């Protein structure tokens, strides 16, 4: 099997291993919040297309991220350009039924900004679902590279440029080190620190913790 076919089977196509894991996690979300279809949610760092494909879609979805809004936005959604660690008053003064975030916490830029991200989560709602990959799972999930997260920055940068399973290998050293420095996986102690009142659920793969989910406000 070629490298591109292997990556497709692992993470890219609709029947990939990663897609099945996301589907299972989505089912877990609905089981945790059975009224999801009637809820207003804010998705910090997400995309409208994720909810357009969802089996159960909230009544209203407000996406806040640092990407340009898509050209077309459905009537059940709104999109704002914004930093989840420093929300503008027009967003921070609002309240939602649920704050949702998937695989964003590890990209916000260090401990101080993770604290500010958690503050935003707590400010916007009494309920949240915040997922992030677990630092000590043996495969780094962004590059599908064994143990990459434990290497010095220099070697992680080399992996980011040359590892064949990477989705889009960096085209320069500067681009690679930028990707590496903005990806910092966290462990359970950190998640408990950022979300002290939450239940920290563990998503497992072959008995090994694969990701962590801070959950608050479920029935």
115: left (phi over 0), alpha (psi -120 to 50) or beta: alpha
pLDDT per residue as tens digits for the range 18-71 = 666 778 889 999 999 999 999 999 999 999 999 999 999 999 999 999 999 999
Cα(48)–Cα(18) distance, integer angstroms:
19
- DSSP per residue over 69-132, as a string? PPS---TTEEEEE--TTS--HHHHT---SEEEEES-GGGS-SHHHHHHHHHHHHHH-S-EEEEE
- Span 154-208, pLDDT tens digits: 999 999 999 988 877 888 999 999 999 999 999 999 999 999 999 999 999 989 9
């Amino acid at each position: 099997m070629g490298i591109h076919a292997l990556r497709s089977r692992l993470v890219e196509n609709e029947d990939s291993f990663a897609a099945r894991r996301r589907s299972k996690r989505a089912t877990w979300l609905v089981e945790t919040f059975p009224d999801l279809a009637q809820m207003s949610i804010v998705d910090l760092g997400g995309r409208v297309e994720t909810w357009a494909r969802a089996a159960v879609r909230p009544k209203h979805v407000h996406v806040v991220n640092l990407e340009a809004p898509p050209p077309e936005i459905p009537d059940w959604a709104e999109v704002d350009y914004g930093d989840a660690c420093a929300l503008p008053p027009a967003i921070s003064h609002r309240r939602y039924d649920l704050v949702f975030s998937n695989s964003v916490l590890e990209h916000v830029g260090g401990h101080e900004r993770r604290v500010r991200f958690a503050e935003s989560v707590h400010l916007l709602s009494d309920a949240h679902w915040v997922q992030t990959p677990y630092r000590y799972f043996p495969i780094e999930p962004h590059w599908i590279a064994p143990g990459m997260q434990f290497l010095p920055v220099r070697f992680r940068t080399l992996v980011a440029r040359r590892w064949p399973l990477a989705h889009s290998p960096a085209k320069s050293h500067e681009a690679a080190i930028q990707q590496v420095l903005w990806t910092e996986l966290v462990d359970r102690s950190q998640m408990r620190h950022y979300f002290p009142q939450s239940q920290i659920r563990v998503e497992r793969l072959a008995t090994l913790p694969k990701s962590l989910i801070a959950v608050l406000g479920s029935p």
